[in-house]
Amino acid sequence: MTDEERTAQFEKRRAELHQLSDEQLKARFWELCNQVVDPIVDLARNHTSPSIERSVLLRMGIDSVSSHGVVDRIYEAGLLGKGAGNVLLKLSQKTGKPVREAAAAILEDKNILLGLFPDAKG
């Protein structure tokens, strides 16, 4: 793109923005911010690692050794993308057990995770 083309594009956008009110400019600003941030949010939602998920469980009060085993079981069940903390919380709610007991239940019986997320692949 030449300097003239770049300048012409700038002037065109400038003229379009000049017609907007302050409220419209503010709305456009947030629309563009969301467009910039959406791929980052999507990346965070869809990409995790066992170490990240273990750290989440540690913050939920699960000891280090148990968190390692729980994350391994969740990974084997194909649910790591749901988030280990989310899986543990959902199991806790389903069984009526505190999260530590739910974590122990995962370690005792890997099949306890079956059907927890009907939409899950795995």
40 & 55 share domain: no
What is the pTM assigned to this prediction?
Answer: 0.63
The answer on 107 and 58 residing in a single domain is yes
Cα–Cα distance between 106 and 98 in angstroms, integer? 13
Residue 122 has pLDDT above 60, yes or no: no
Tokens 């505190």 sit on residue: 98
102 CB contacts (<8 Å, ≥6 apart)? Answer: 88, 91, 92, 95
Q: Give the per-residue pLDDT at 121.
A: 58
Domain range enclosing 33: 3-46
39 and 66 together in one domain? no
Tell me: do 22 and 41 sit in the same domain: yes
Q: Are residues 57 and 92 in the same domain?
A: yes
Answer yes or no: is 120 within a domain. no
Same domain, 20 and 58: no
Reference 62, options 33, 38, 41, 91; nearest CA is 91
User: Which class for 40: exposed (0-12), middle (13-18), buried (19 or more C-beta within 10 A)?
Assistant: exposed
Q: 52-66 pLDDT, tens per residue?
A: 999 999 999 999 999
Say if 34 falls within a structural domain.
Answer: yes
Give the integer Cα–Cα distance in Å for 71 and 85: 9
| Residue 119: inside a domain | no
How far is it, in rounded angstroms, from Cα 81 to Cα 48? Answer: 7
Residues 100-115, mean pLDDT to the nearest whole number? 95
- Grade residue 120 by pLDDT with cuts at 50, 70 and 90: low
Clarify whether residues 60 and 37 are in a common domain.
no
In a domain, 122, yes or no: no
Q: Are residues 55 and 106 in the same domain?
A: yes
Total structural domains within the chain: 2
CA dihedral 69, 53, 111, 101 (to 10 degrees): 70
CATH number, domain containing residue 68: 1.10.8.1000
